[in-house]
Amino acid sequence: MKISAATEQTFLEQVFTAHGFSSEDSNLLADTLVDADLRGISSHGIQRLAWYLNMIKEHIIVPTNKPIILKETPTSLLIDANQNMGHIASALAMRKLIEKTKKSVVSIAVIRNSNHFGTAGYYSRMAAKAGLIGVSNTNTRPLVVPTNAKDAFLGSNAFAFTFPAAPHPFVFDGATSVVSGGKIQVLAKKGEQIPGEWAIDGQRNVVKDANAAEDILSKVAFTKEQPGGGVLTLGGNSEENSNYKGFGNSLVVELLTGILAQGSISADTNTGKHDFSQFFLTIDPDFFGDLDVLKSNVESMFDRIRKLDHTPGTQIMIPGDREYKRYDENKIHGVTIDDASADQIRNIAAELNIPAPEEL
Amino acid sequence: MKISAATEQTFLEQVFTAHGFSSEDSNLLADTLVDADLRGISSHGIQRLAWYLNMIKEHIIVPTNKPIILKETPTSLLIDANQNMGHIASALAMRKLIEKTKKSVVSIAVIRNSNHFGTAGYYSRMAAKAGLIGVSNTNTRPLVVPTNAKDAFLGSNAFAFTFPAAPHPFVFDGATSVVSGGKIQVLAKKGEQIPGEWAIDGQRNVVKDANAAEDILSKVAFTKEQPGGGVLTLGGNSEENSNYKGFGNSLVVELLTGILAQGSISADTNTGKHDFSQFFLTIDPDFFGDLDVLKSNVESMFDRIRKLDHTPGTQIMIPGDREYKRYDENKIHGVTIDDASADQIRNIAAELNIPAPEEL
């Protein structure tokens, strides 16, 4: 079924406020989930609500905590998320970086003691709205098996990069691994086969059954028990197609997050600890050339790419094209809620004694 | 055959000085080539010498030109390489960024009107020596076919990221595409088959014969004629294994180089134009935590990864491990010069009336 973005926003704000978040934080948290649903990234939308609320119940997330700025200069920022939702410290960091970069061309922030922060692209898109280049990284639970290894160690470690352009910014946003854990979870729920080489078992044999893969992932990500296997790095199962490059990309994010923040590295977050770290970078392209000229050069490059001859039945899409198309459609027709999520939403509403969205 | 690094350095300095480079620039250029040979990256070593000298003869490179600093702030730098070797402007940029970042935590540089700059890692390693995180990017000639497209458009677009650590820094350095054009060239010279899925023809059929692939690459990279095909993005031939992520990584470099510099994009450098652009970023990790502590955390993470259970007959190597191992070996035993390069070196020496390295 579908609900309108406005209905989703109102409902989520009520839920978060009822759990002790300030109205400002509730508004932000709701917006990040609605934004993900509008873009068709439903793995990071309202279907995560029950999971977040569960972490609040378990005191892993403390809604009344405020982020603490530990260090700050005109170009840099170290923030303690203070065990609250990653979204709150991350939006604060990005707002401050935008101000800083408007004055100093470039600035960076690192967040420690944080939690899941939603889609990485949410924050890099904040920079794009301000005419800036934005980079957003997070580490995650251990899911990804390094080149030649048998055990998961790295996170799926998201990387988002946004560059201002019209009609929409360039938004490259996703796991550095071949796929995110969520993509396998979605197939498992449908009982489908994995189309490509995404997951391996403890002998580095490719696992095609999504439920078998999901079984491996839930163990390696959430328990000390390491049965072996996990998600592949970008580049496949052997060194033949340079899977060490995907490994390198994941390590770059690990170094900029867990290491720079002196928080947990992904490998050490499988025991109930929710100690993730985030990294943000913003650059003012206007230092290098007039922003309108740069944007028009970007747009003309993208148009040339979109128009390249391509294989029959396919389309050449620039990163961001797909999600902005869905955004525009879902803004009109509403966002899709699957049955399981609808049940959860009704239960949450009943528990808090607030009205569930009418459409459900 | 092998020659010592010292001999190679002396010879190269003489060659560059004879072509009108200052003694300081000659020293740098020689060092970048010797450094690549020591690390076993022979595609970027002395075997490129004849190619560089040819560009000087054709006035594509002007050895007496000095880089021009167009704009500068305490955190940023825009440099015109002034049609000289990319190495010269790049080393200048990195030296200045290191100074800037020691004061301001982060700084960035963009270089326009540049040329080939050797290995990207040379510059990011300069940052590591100074205790900083370094990023180094360049665009290249068009070699890489976007997801679903039939024609090359993107460069192999190098990305290097270096993080301070002992016994050697983390150095992730290479093409963002599945392989560099040079790797296919090496196999073609040997008349070998390509082991993986690296290159495609104009119908996106994988090309396994290295000579056939090299034939495609030489056309797409150096001529207006576009027969179709080129190098694949990291992630393979179909969307199944997320080759759009490799496409995204290549685009990120294109945006930070050709676009920010307002130079040519890779797609427009196939007609004899040598208008490449570079991007550099440095970060002072010491802002976020004591550098010695961070380094020790990095080293312990890497050691844990190296010791993970792995498939028989393989080894888990952290980016940089292989090149530092070769560096140490070649420092003692000398760098390997192939027969064709030895011939070229002797010819160059005879032409300039300087002694060729004795070992040849």
> pLDDT tens, B242-293?
999 999 999 999 999 999 999 999 999 987 677 999 999 999 999 999 999 9
How many separate helices (H) and strands (E) can be counted in chain A? 11, 14
Predicted confidence at residue B186, as pLDDT, reads: 85
Q: Is B332 exposed, middle or buried (0-12, 13-18, 19+ CB in 10 A)?
A: exposed
Which residues of A are less than 8 Å from B108 in CB distance? 105-106, 283
CB contact under 8 A, A311 and B150: yes
Predicted confidence at residue B190, as pLDDT, reads: 87
Domains of chain B: which residue ranges?
1-64+321-360, 65-287
The tokens 């060659």 sit on which residue?
B15
* Residues A276 and A86 sit within 8 Å (Cβ to Cβ): yes
For the stretch B87-111, pLDDT in tens is: 999 999 999 999 999 999 999 999 9
Compute φ and ψ for A40, nearest 5 degrees.
80, 10
Range list of H helices, A164-271? 181-190, 210-222, 243-254
Q: Classify domain B65-287 at the CATH topology level.
A: Ribosomal Protein S8; Chain: A, domain 1 (3.30.1370)
Predicted confidence at residue B226, as pLDDT, reads: 82
> How many alpha carbons fall within 13 Å on the CB side of residue B271?
7
**Single-letter amino acid code for the residue at A173:** D
Report the DSSP pairing between strands B106-114 and B76-80.
parallel
A3: how many CB neighbours lie within 10 A of its CB? 22
Query: CA–CA separation, A342 vs A3, rounded Å?
Result: 10
**Single-letter amino acid code for the residue at A316:** I
**3-class secondary-structure state, position A340:** helix
* Residues A38 and A4 sit within 8 Å (Cβ to Cβ): no
CB contact under 8 A, A297 and B110: no
Residue B107's nearest CA partner among A10, A50, A281 is A281
Predicted confidence at residue B189, as pLDDT, reads: 84
Report the DSSP pairing between strands A199-201 and B170-175.
unpaired
In degrees to the nearest 10, what's the CA dihedral of B300, B304, B306, B310? Answer: 180
For the stretch A157-180, pLDDT in tens is: 999 999 999 999 999 999 999 999
Predicted confidence at residue A359, as pLDDT, reads: 86
Kindly report the average pLDDT of chain B as a whole number: 96
Chain A, residues 86-115, CB within 8 A of chain B, namely 104-108, 110
Q: How far is A171 from chain B (nearest CA, A)?
A: 9
Tell me how far CA of residue B188 lies from CA of B152, B184, B203, B233, in angstroms: 19, 6, 21, 20
CATH of domain B1-64+321-360: 1.10.1530.10
Chain B, residues 191-250, CB within 8 A of chain A, namely 195-198, 203-204, 228, 234-236, 238, 240-242, 244-249
Q: Does B178 touch chain A (CB under 8 A)?
A: yes
| Ramachandran bin of B116, using left for φ above 0, alpha for ψ from -120 to 50, beta for the remaining angles | beta
This complex has an ipTM of: 0.97
Query: CA–CA separation, A21 vs B333, rounded Å?
Result: 65
Residue A42's nearest CA partner among A34, A54, A51 is A34
CB contact under 8 A, B288 and A78: yes
Query: CA–CA separation, B125 vs B128, rounded Å?
Result: 5
Predicted confidence at residue B224, as pLDDT, reads: 85
- Find residue B114's DSSP bridge partners: B276
Query: CA–CA separation, B298 vs B320, rounded Å?
Result: 13
Q: Is the dihedral of CA B160, B70, A160, A235 positive or negative?
A: negative
Q: Is the dihedral of CA B103, B108, B113, B117 positive or negative?
A: positive
Q: How far is A341 from chain B (nearest CA, A)?
A: 27
For the stretch B301-341, pLDDT in tens is: 999 999 999 999 999 999 999 999 999 999 999 999 988 89
Query: CA–CA separation, A127 vs B160, rounded Å?
Result: 24
Predicted confidence at residue A336, as pLDDT, reads: 93
Q: Between A and B, how many CB-CB pairs are < 8 A?
A: 219
Query: Between B339-352 and B5-18, two packed helices, what is the crossing angle to 10 degrees?
Result: 40
Which of A242, A314, A317 lies nearest to residue B234, judging by beta carbons? A242
Q: Classify domain A1-64+319-360 at the CATH topology level.
A: Hypothetical Oxidoreductase Yiak; Chain: A, domain 1 (1.10.1530)
Q: pLDDT under 50 in chain A at which residues?
A: none
Q: Which of B259, B298, B300 to mutate to test the interface with A (most CBs of A within 10 A)?
A: B259
Query: CA–CA separation, A114 vs B322, rounded Å?
Result: 35
Query: CA–CA separation, A47 vs B326, rounded Å?
Result: 50
Query: CA–CA separation, A85 vs A21, rounded Å?
Result: 10
